[in-house]
Chain A
């Protein structure tokens, strides 16, 4: 009832190997995500450093990740932890060849709406995070109009 998994499907004109390079490479990830120290190796811990945006009151944040599964050029999964309900969530990319191009299946799963103990007022933390996300998405959509 409460869907806590985000799924997206993209159809890309680029071949699978090229898409893989864009999702499993530190520099490429920095271009479309954030500065990071990713390595395509299972067990490798890394972070995304989301920079502050003072003009919208966003303080920036660190996303803690770990490579959980990595099977070039078709499958990548890493954990994604920020705070509260976004602790050990799982981000994954499945790449399937589709003619000359690629079908990308994206999933962000495991938002934990069942905090251990249940007594934590994590609504507060969640809301704080939601506000930050909102600012961040606003920032991004403003940037989205630029090449």
Chain B
């Protein structure tokens, strides 16, 4: 299958790891520092930073220096490709459930 390149597979890759999805969840209400984020995980601080780096590269979070620490903020609109992808499936089922209703009303006319 031919895959065009006007897509952002990085976003999908970025959310393909449970820890990174949990990090995004932590950032839904407010920005947080690395240390606060890391306190929720048993993995090492460098490992946490590495995950954050992947989220950063995908554009899902922004980073800013605040005194001696770095703070991360969610960029929710970057999740649009994921939402769109699920939306395709929603349309698919809406169409088919409509067909189910048509199927049932046909039966009734017999």
A contact residues vs B (CB 8 Å cutoff): 1-4, 6, 8, 10, 12-14, 18-19, 22-23, 28, 31-33, 59, 85, 104, 106, 108, 111, 113-115, 118-124, 126-128, 130, 133-134, 136-137, 140-141, 144, 147
Cβ–Cβ contact B16 & A108, under 8 A: no
A-side interface mostly = mixed
Interface residues on B, range: 35 or more
Given contacts A8-B93, A127-B7, contact A2 B16 (CB under 8 A): no
B97 interface hit (Cβ, 8 Å): yes
Q: Which residues of B contact A13 (CB under 8 A)?
A: 108
- In the complex, what distance in Å separates the CA atom of A122 from the CA atom of B16? 9
Q: Which residues of A contact B97 (CB under 8 A)?
A: 8, 10, 104, 106
Taking A10-B97, A32-B103, A122-B9 as given, write out 12 further A-B residue pairs in contact, using a Cβ cutoff of 8 Å, ordered by the A residue number.
A12-B101, A18-B107, A106-B97, A113-B82, A114-B18, A121-B13, A123-B11, A126-B9, A126-B12, A127-B85, A130-B84, A140-B99
Cβ–Cβ contact B88 & A114, under 8 A: no
Q: List 29 A-B contacts (CB under 8 A).
A: A1-B25, A2-B24, A2-B79, A2-B83, A6-B86, A10-B100, A32-B100, A32-B103, A108-B93, A113-B16, A114-B16, A120-B16, A122-B16, A123-B8, A123-B10, A124-B3, A124-B7, A124-B9, A126-B9, A126-B85, A127-B4, A127-B7, A127-B9, A128-B1, A130-B85, A130-B88, A137-B92, A140-B95, A140-B99
Of residues B11, B86, B101, B104, which shows the largest number of chain A Cβ atoms within 10 Å of its Cβ? B104
- In the complex, what distance in Å separates the CA atom of A68 from the CA atom of B58? 37
Cβ–Cβ contact B15 & A2, under 8 A: yes
B69 interface hit (Cβ, 8 Å): no
Q: Which residues of B contact A130 (CB under 8 A)?
A: 84-85, 88
Cβ–Cβ contact A113 & B108, under 8 A: no
- In the complex, what distance in Å separates the CA atom of A59 from the CA atom of B102? 26
